[in-house]
Structure 1
Amino acid sequence: MGFDTDHLLPNLVALRRRLHATPELGLHLPQTQATVLEALAGLDLEITTGVGLSSVVAVLRGGRPGPVVLLRGDMDGLPIVEDTGLDYASGNGAMHACGHDLHTAGLVGAVRLLHERRAELPGTVVFMFQPGEEGFAGGRIMLEEGLLDVAGETPVAAYAIHVDSATPRGLYVTRPGPIMAGASGMKLRVLGAGGHAAFPQEGVDPVPVAAEIVLAVQSFVTRRIAVAEPAVISVTRLASNSLAGNVIPSMVEIDLNIRTLSRTTLDFVQAELPALVTALGAAHRCPVEVDVINSYPVTHNDPDETQRVLGWLEELHGTEHLQVLPAPGMASEDFSYVLEKVPGTLVFLGARAGEDHGPSMHSPAAVFDDSVLGEQAATLAELAWRRLAM
C-alpha cells in the first residue's frame, strides 16, 4: 500500500512532546484523554469514552466492505521523577519512561493515515487508546466495557507496536507464541507476638521467620521448577509494623512479584509456594497469611498472525530491520488481555536515541527518538490495511 508520513511527522512529534511534558498515572487520565480527543476532532470517526477509566475508542468505517481490525496504543505514565534534561521533560513527578506518549501519538498518526484513504479502506478499524497499562489492567476494563463490540462485530486481528529505548532505532522485534510473561503476585503477612527488644524470648519474633521465608522463596524456582519452564519470583517489599528501634514487631509483610510463561507453571507456584511459607511459619509458631494476586496473563502472539506480520515487516522495512526473538522476555504487558480474545501480534520498535546503548525503559533517564513516529504510524496503518484486504 505505502503510506507517506512526511506531512504528519511534525505534528506527531509535537503531540508526543506535549504528552511527554504532562504525563498522568493509572486509569484516570483526563488531560491525556482531552488531548487525544482534540487530536481526533473533525475526523469521520465514531468515538466513545470509557466509564470506569479515561479511555478513547475510535471506529473508522471504510468505504468498502470487509472485516474489523483493532489497533492499540496505551497512554499512561509511570510514577518516576524524570532525569533526562529534555526541553520538554515532565516536571510533575510522573514520567513517560515506557514510551506510551509515542504509542499514543503514533496511533493518532495511524488514524489520520487511514482516514485519508477511508473511501478505499476495505473494512473497519477500531483504535484503542488505553489508560492503566502500568499495573492497572486498563485493557481488561476496556474489554469489560465492550471494546470488542463497538464496531458491531469482533475484530479478526489486533496489533500493537511498543517502542523500546534500548533497541537500535528502526529495528522491529517480535516472535510467534509467548513474547512476554504473565505477572502475578503474593502478599505474605508473618504474624508473631511483639514485645520488648531486650526480651525476645517472651514474644514470638516474626523477623527471623520472615528472613527464612525470603531465602526459601529465592531458592523455590531453582529447586522446585524445571529449568525449561521459565519463572522469576522477586521479593519486592519487606516491612515490619514496628515503629521503634527497641520494639519487636508483631507482623512482617512480604510482597512477591511472580513472572511465568505458562498457566501450568503459575498454577504450581500458586499452590506450592503458599504451602511452603505457611509450613515455615508454623515451625516457628508464626502463622502466615497469604493473599494471591492475579495480574496480567502471558502475552501470546498468535502464530499465524505473527507469520503474516513478519512477512509484511520484511517487505516494508527489509530483513536488516527485522529481528525474531529467540525467547520471550519476563516483563509483562496488558495487551495480553486483548490477545486472549483476538488473534494478533505485539511488535517492538527500536527508538534508541543515539548509537550507544542508552538507559532502558522505566529508567528516569530513558530517552526515545521520536523521529520513529512516522514509520510507527505508517506500519500500524499498513498492518491494519493488509489484514483487512486479505
Structure 2
Amino acid sequence: MNIQRSPDVNRKLEIEAGLASFIDEFIALRRDIHTHPELAFKETRTSALVADYLKQWGYDVTTGVGGSGVVGTLKRGNSGKSIGIRADMDALPIIEETGLDYASSNSGVMHACGHDGHTTILLAAARYLAQFSRFSGTVHLIFQPAEEIGAGARRMIEEGLFERFPCDAVYGLHNWPGVPAGKFGFVTGPAMASVDRARIRVNGRGGHGAEPHKSVDPVVVASSIVLALQTVVARNLDPLDMGVVTVASIHGGDALNVIPAHVDLGITIRSFSQTVREELRRRIEAVARSQAESFGAVADVNYQWGFPALINAKAETEFARQVALNTFAKDTVIEDFRPRTASEDFAFMLEQKPGTYFFVGNGDSAGLHSPNYNFNDEILLPAALFWVRLTEASLI
C-alpha cells in the first residue's frame, strides 16, 4: 500500500534526515565549546570557530560586531525578504561541578546556561541551509557576545546591527530545564521580565554596642527597609500585574560589639511592563528614604536600569508556533506556556524589530546557572530542524 505524503511532510523528513546525517559532528562540537567556555566580550576562540565554519559553508561573514560578535549572511534567489536568527555565545563565572569528561578546562568559567548549545544549534542549521537550502531571500545568523551581562545585544545594535544587516523579523531561543526535552513553548507578549538593580547604603551613626542610644543603628534601619519593601509589590501594584522586589544581599559591620556606621543592601527588581517598572523604582526609592528618615538615618539609593521586558510580537509568535505545529507532533508544542521571570537582553533586539523568543525543553537537568547544569544534546537536532523550517517558511 502506497501512503501519499504532502510535499511539506516530505520536506520536513528530508531536512530531518539531512541534519541527522551529520548531527554527531555537532554534538562533538558542542562539547568542544563546552570545554572551552569564555566570558562576556572575551569569546575569541568561540567567535573564531563560528566564523571559520560559516566561511567554509559559503556565508558572507562579518566579525567584530559588538566586540566579539559574528554575523553570517546567506542569500538565495531574488526575494527582498530577510530574517535574523540569534544565538548567544558567552559563558558564566562559575566553577563547574558536573564531572563530565568534557567539563570546562577554563578554571572558574562554565557554560552553565546552555549557550554552547544555542551556538551549536544555529551552526547545525547554518550548514544545512548553506548546503541544501530551499528559500528565496536573506538570512542573517547573529552570534551574540555578552548576553550574561546584558550588554551584547545593545552593543551590536549601537554598532548598526540592523542597519548593516536589515531584518524583517528576528528570532531567538533558549533551552529550559524542567520542561520535557524537545518540547517547544511560545509566549505572545511579555515572555521574560525586565531586570533592574538597586544598591542602598543606609548611613547611620556608629558606636559601641553597649550604648545603642548614642548611635543611629543602620542595622535596625536596614531591617525596617527590608520589611517595608515587601509592601511595594503587595500593596502598590495592581494584583493582576507582576513585580518582583528581592533583597538579595545585606552587609554591615564586623565586630560583635560595634554598631556600624552604614549597612549596604542589594536588590533585584523585575516586571513585565514599563509602567510597573517605573512604579517599582518610585516606590523603592520612597520607601528606603522615608524609612531611614524616620530613624534619623539617611538612605542613599543607587538605582540602575538594566534591560527591558522581552515582548514577543503577536504575528511572529503565532507564525513560529505554526511552524512548530507543522514540523512536530501536536503535543510537542506546549499550550499556555507561561512567561518567565528571568531576563534576557534579546529584549533590546525585539525593541528594534518584530520577532519572537521561544523556549525548548532541556529535560530533567540541573537548573540554569547551576554548577551541575549541562545542555541536553538530544535537543540539538529538533531545534536545528526548527530553525531550517522557520527560515524556509519565512523566505518563500
* Band the TM-score falls in, shorter-chain normalisation: over 0.9
Matching residue's letter, 1:25: L
Output the CA distance in 2 between the equivalents of 1:59 and 1:52. Answer: 16
Q: CA distance change for structure 1 residues 224 and 73 in 2, over 3 Å: closer, same or farther?
A: same
Q: CA distance change for structure 1 residues 73 and 51 in 2, over 3 Å: closer, same or farther?
A: closer
Output the CA distance in 1 between the equivalents of 2:103 and 2:70. Answer: 25
Q: Give CA deviations for 1:163-208 in whole Å, capped at 9, x if unaligned.
A: 1232111111112111111111211111112233333332322111
Q: Which residue of 2 is the match for residue 63 of structure 1? A: 77
Q: Report the TM-score, using the length of structure 2 for normalisation.
A: 0.92
Q: CA distance change for structure 1 residues 253 and 150 in 2, over 3 Å: closer, same or farther?
A: same
Unaligned residue ranges in structure 1 (runs of 5+): none
Match of 2:169 among 148, 157, 167: 157
* 1:66 Cα deviation after fit: 2.8
Q: Which residue of 2 is the match for residue 362 of structure 1? A: 369
Output the CA distance in 2 between the equivalents of 1:327 and 1:371. Answer: 23
Verify the 8 A CA contact 1:278 1:289 in the aligned structure 2. yes
Q: CA distance change for structure 1 residues 100 and 325 in 2, over 3 Å: closer, same or farther?
A: farther
Match of 2:328 among 317, 323, 328: 317
Q: Which residue of 1 is the match for residue 68 of structure 2? A: 54
Verify the 8 A CA contact 1:77 1:97 in the aligned structure 2. yes
Verify the 8 A CA contact 2:218 2:260 in the aligned structure 1. yes
Verify the 8 A CA contact 1:113 1:378 in the aligned structure 2. no
Q: Is 1:171 paired with 2:183?
A: yes
Q: CA distance change for structure 1 residues 33 and 326 in 2, over 3 Å: closer, same or farther?
A: closer
Output the CA distance in 1 between the equivalents of 2:97 and 2:172. Answer: 28
Match of 1:97 among 112, 128, 150: 112
Q: Which moved more, 1:330-339 or 1:43-52?
A: 43-52
Output the CA distance in 2 between the equivalents of 1:117 and 1:358. Answer: 33
SS at match of 2:97: coil
Output the CA distance in 1 between the equivalents of 2:91 and 2:337. Answer: 29
Matching residue's letter, 1:138: G
SS at match of 2:125: helix
Output the CA distance in 1 between the equivalents of 2:254 and 2:66. Answer: 37
**Structural mapping, 1:15-34, within 5 Å:** 15-34=29-48
* 1:326 Cα deviation after fit: 4.7
Q: Is 1:230 paired with 2:248?
A: no
Matching residue's letter, 1:301: N
* 1:280 Cα deviation after fit: 0.5
Count of aligned pairs: 381
Q: Which residue of 1 is the match for residue 389 of structure 2? A: 382
| Bigger helix fraction | 2
Unaligned residue ranges in structure 2 (runs of 5+): 1-10
Output the CA distance in 1 between the equivalents of 2:120 and 2:65. Answer: 23
**Structural mapping, 1:186-335, within 5 Å:** 186-240=198-252, 242-335=253-346
- What CA RMSD, in Å, does the superposition of the two structures yield over aligned residues? 1.7
Q: Which residue of 1 is the match for residue 196 of structure 2? A: 184
Percentage identity across paired residues of the two chains: 36
SS at match of 2:170: strand
